[in-house]
Every structure is written in structure tokens, then in C-alpha cells.
A and B are shown apart, each in its own frame.
Chain A
């Protein structure tokens, strides 16, 4: 029982709310239509039909002259029929006025209707009309915008007013404009419930609204109120093929023009981008020619070796940053070096050099003997064995300045002062003197590692730079030649070329003797990085 009561109460509430909503909506619609007719219809009373069988008439009175509703009489008469009276109701209006209404629930169309309004038996309004020409419909419902799949188009669809017999007599006015713009277009369509809007901008939001009116042939009336606007964005635009093709053509033309300009000024641009780096050949013609000659002869001299160890001739020509010299050569012991003692001056020079921080490392002459006897092809391994059997002492030798490398061949017999352990295999028989910059321990470790790596291969090879600021070269026999090579390239900043070196060289005697490679001494320019000491 309680549930039934609750259900009834709930149903009543829903019905009341629904009707209240509809009443409110109806009141709003009536207010809209009244305001429309107040502007559109000059005659009084103003009448409009909303459907097939109704008619609503109203008139407006000032508050001052307005009376109560029962003071008014609304008399209507169809042609060839008797008069009838409609009850009048009053509603307040804005601006201190009152509205009086009369509504007929059953009407006759296509026949004249006479209307007379009396206030206290005084005729205030008189009008004859045909009801079928005073239709004022509700706006179309369910206005929907959809995409047609084509750019620049939107499809508007709606529900026409539900009036029987009049579907094919309705005409619609569709207003569309870009969102936010007040300038729009209007299109009319008859007896249809959809319209395709064309010529729209791609990727743009549009605002569309619609209103309805009867076409005026059989039925006519006033334009309805506009629907609430509906917004929708059109499809984004694709690239117009014409625009794309024109853009490509223009870009191609611009590219060709730029290429033409570049080609016509290529020399100027090349000078700017790749400037010619001056080389000192023109200024040091003699030096470089001599160096070239030395290099050629030196390569020939190295060519006697079985390979594996080489001396980079970049000392003279390289423009690179001075790099440690990576050398070791396998000097052939075939040709016997002429044994000759150093002249006293050279010895003094050497001694002075030893006193300074320039070191020369010497090989034990015993080792040289062994080397001399060993065939050239077995020379590397045999030398190593010889070295281990007779470790040559290292004597302090003066060093050149940084980045200088010396390969010296010392023919003097000097006792070995240091254990041969310090001598690495790849330094024999040619022993390279390196400038400071790296510690001897580092160099030793590098060399040792390299030796370990290369010993198994049967070759003496070394990629490391090694410096022995504190090592002395073991003295060697006359078969060895010490040759100093600078690896600082054309920077001209190698010790033999520096002023200091020149001075140092000047202090001592740079003694060059002929040796098997036949490098003539007179061809050695002053300040040459090559030192030959015998």
C-alpha cells in the first residue's frame, strides 16, 4: 500500500514537472510569437495559426486605458455563417502594457473570417482574414549538422513541423555564418528537410540556424523564430593541387637561379670557403728540396729493412699537429757502417749535449757485433736475443725539445751503464730519442705492452710514441747510426730549426759524415733536423 502511494506520488511529480516544463516552454514560445507579430503585423487584432485547427488573436492596450478582460468582447463570423464569440483573457506585458488574448480551437480555412472586438460595447478592432494565410509555426526541431565527406560542405538536417497536409507547402530559410562573425549567408529550400551548405571554408567552425514559413500558394503566414544556432567545424582542407604544383615550380625556379648564381661566382666562393693555405715552399725552396732529397734517400735506406718498423717522414711535410714519432726500424746490418770515431769536437758536442737534457742512447757494441753477423732476415729476433744476452747500458743523453724524435746510430764503444732491461726490443738497433712530454715510465709501459703484443707476431712493430728522457742509449758499434728526426711537420717548430737548437747546434759541431745512404753533407741545410753522429 505504501509502495503504491509512493509510486502514485512519484508519477504525479513527474507529470507535474513535465507539464510544468512544457508550460514554461509554451509560455516562452508564445512570448516569442507575440513579439514577432507585434513587429510584423500592423493590423489589430493580430492573429496567427499554429496548427490546422487553431487561431490565436491578441491586441495590446496601454495600462492607462486597459480594463479587465471581461470588458472586452471578441466576435468572429465565418462567411455565410452565424457569428460566434470568443472569451478574452488578459496578460501583463512589458513597458506598462497589457495583452488581451482570444484563442479559437476549431477553425475553417479557405473562407473569409470577420473579427470584431468590443470594449464595453465599443468597437475597437475590426478585421477580415483567411486563416490559412496567417500561419506562424514553431521553429524546426532537431537541427543537426553533419559532414558530407567533401571539403567546404556541411549538411544541415532538421525535423519539419508536424502539420498534416502542409508538408509540401513549407519553405525554410537556412542562415549560416562563421562562428563569431555577424556576416552570413541565407539559403531557401522548399518542401525538404535537409540542405547541403556549399562553398564553406575548410577547417572553420560555422554557426547555422533555420526558420520555417508556408510557401504562400495554398497556405501562407509569417516566418517562424530562428532555431538555436548549431555549431560545427568543416573538414580540414587538403592541399590544393594547383597550389602545390605552383609551389614546386617556384621552388624549382628559385633553386635553379641560386645554382646559376653560385656557379657564376664559384671562384669567389671557393676562395672564401676554402682559402688557399700558404705553404712555405716558396720561401724555403732549398730547405724543402733538400728535405725531399733526404726523405727520398732515407726511404731508400729504410727500404733495406724487412719492414715492420718504419719512420714516418711526416716530420717534414705534415701539417698536422706534432705527434709522437712512431718508429722503429729494422735496420739492415748488411752494409757495414764505416767505423770512425767521432771527431773531438763532435764528442765534446755530444758530451755537452749529454750535460744538457738531451740524451742519446747507445747500443752496446757487442750487440752490434751480433747484429752484424746475423743475416738480415733473421735480424729482428736475433737482435732481441742478443739484447737479452747482452743488455746494453743506457747512458743519459741529451734530449731535443718537445715533439722531437731522434733516431741515433752511435758507433762509439761505451760500456753499458744501465741494465739492458730498460732497453726495449723495438728500440734496437735504431734507438729513438724522444723529447720530454711523457714520462719514461709511461713510455716504458706502452712499449712493453706493444712489445708483448708484437713479439708473438715475429715482427718488431710499435705504434707508440716513447720518450726516454732519462734513458741512455747503449753504445753501438760503428754499424749504427743515430739519426734525429723531428715530427713536428712544417710548423717549423722543431728543435733543430729553432733558434735555441740552432744555438745549441752552433755550440757544438754538427758533424755529418758520409754513410751508406750517401746523404751528402753539403746538401744538408743549416738547421736541418738530421743529425748524423759517428
Chain B
């Protein structure tokens, strides 16, 4: 009787240790409402800071990705190419919003900028759940300059950010193979 209880205790210990060590599979996040919330918060930030005087004190230029989506061309791209564009774009936006936060002095503006940076970080986790490598923390963009452009104002930066989320990011999440498997 004591030997059996000891054996059960050993088995439970082993299983618990194995559960800690092995990474648990991330369940794909395919709910479009997650990205929709990020898009709406980016839109709200754009609308709130559109009338900011003197650009809310933000100066300088920022490199941002292109946001245009041609469905005909999109059909020719595979998921990895799309994911590369999305990942590099999110990286560029992260960099730009970080620089903007250092430039502004108003707490309200800082709060909105911080929220958008947090959403970009969350999007990286969403892409990871779809088995898409998160390149937002990479030091360099994976795409060339032809896929980027420069903006010189906070409002332009926020508008491009919103369009990028609405277009390319959303299309990637909608067409992610992991989400297609779940829906079928």
C-alpha cells in the first residue's frame, strides 16, 4: 500500500516537472475582434491627436511601411511573404512610436502613444500564436526601402499606422492557415 502511494507521488512529480519545462502550444488567436480593437484604438488616437498644435511638439521624420493593398497582387503572394511585410511594418511602427513618446511632454499624449505601442506588442503575440515568427523586435527590417516611406508629422504617422493595421495586418490574420484550419 505504501509502495503504491509512493509510486503515484513520483509520477505526479514527474508530470508536473515536464509540464513546466515543455512549452505549451499556443492556441491560435483567430478572432477578428482582437485586431478590430487595436484598429479602433489606433483610429481614436489618430483622431485625438489630429488637431494637436504644432504636431504636439513632435519633430523629425519617421520611416513607415507602405500600406497599399492590391488584391490582385495579394493573390500572388504567399503567407510568408505577407507575414514578412507585416512583421517589418510592425517593427517600424514600434520604433517610430517610441521616438514620438520621447518627444511629447503631455501626459495624455504619452498615454495614447503607450497604448498603441502595447497593441503592437500584442499583435506580435497574436502572430506568434498563428505560427508566424515575431520579427517586431528584430533590430532591422526584413524588407527593403521600396517597401517603406518617410513621414514628418505625428498625424501622418498615426494615419499610416491605422491604415497598416486595417489592411495588411488584417488580411494576414484573416488568411492565416492556422485560422483557416480552425474554421474548416
Contact = CB atoms under 8 A, between A and B. Distances in A.
Chain A contact residues, majority secondary structure: loop
Contact of B149 (A80, A132, A164): A80
A204 interface: no
Contacts of A111: 66-69, 163
Contact of A108 (B70, B164, B171): B70
B166 A110 contact: yes
Contacts of A109: 68-71, 167
Nearest to B149: A80
Contact of B163 (A52, A110, A165): A110
Most buried by A among B66, B149, B164, B166: B166
Interface in A152-171: 164-165, 168
Contacts of B164: 110
A107 interface: yes
B174 interface: yes
Contacts of A52: 71
Interface stretch (B32-40, B48-56, B130-138): B32-40
B152 interface: no
Interface string A191-222: 00000000000000000000000000110000
B70 A106 contact: yes
Interface in B11-47: 32, 36, 39-40
Interface string B60-98: 000000111111100000000000000000000000000
B73 to A, nearest CB: 9
Contact of A218 (B68, B72, B149, B167): B167
B175 interface: yes
Contact of A106 (B36, B72, B149, B174): B72
A529 B67 CA distance: 133
Given A110-B164, A110-B167, A165 B36 contact: no
A53 interface: yes
B168 A110 contact: yes
Given A80-B149, A165-B175, A217-B166, A108 B36 contact: no
A428 B166 CA distance: 129
A78 interface: yes
Contacts of A110: 67-69, 163-164, 166-168
Interface residues of A, number: 18
B170 interface: yes
A79 B67 CA distance: 10
Interface in A108-161: 108-111, 130, 132
A168 B32 CA distance: 8
A53 B72 contact: yes
Chain B contact residues, majority secondary structure: helix
Interface in B136-184: 149, 163-164, 166-168, 170-171, 174-175
Nearest to B70: A108
Contact of B174 (A132, A168, A217): A168
Nearest to B174: A165
A439 B17 CA distance: 129
B89 to A, nearest CB: 12
A256 B70 CA distance: 83
A80 B65 CA distance: 12
A111 B163 CA distance: 7
A79 B72 CA distance: 18
A474 B40 CA distance: 133
A382 to B, nearest CB: 118
B170 A108 contact: no
B30 to A, nearest CB: 10
Contact of A132 (B36, B66, B72, B167): B167
Contacts of A79: 68
A168 B179 CA distance: 13
Contacts of A130: 163
A167 to B, nearest CB: 9
Contacts of B168: 110
Contacts of B166: 110, 132, 217-218
Interface string A72-88: 00000011100000000
A165 B171 contact: yes
B170 to A, nearest CB: 5
Nearest to A219: B166
Contacts of A108: 68-70
Given A132-B166, A217-B166, A218-B39, A107 B171 contact: no
Nearest to B43: A217
A107 B170 CA distance: 18
A53 B70 CA distance: 7
Interface of B: 32, 36, 39-40, 66-72, 149, 163-164, 166-168, 170-171, 174-175
24 contacts: A53-B70, A53-B72, A78-B68, A79-B68, A108-B69, A108-B70, A109-B68, A109-B69, A109-B70, A110-B68, A110-B163, A110-B166, A111-B67, A111-B69, A111-B163, A132-B166, A132-B167, A165-B171, A168-B32, A168-B174, A217-B40, A218-B36, A218-B39, A218-B167
Given A53-B70, A108-B69, A217-B40, 12 more contacts: A108-B68, A109-B70, A110-B68, A110-B163, A130-B163, A132-B167, A164-B71, A165-B171, A217-B39, A217-B166, A218-B167, A218-B170
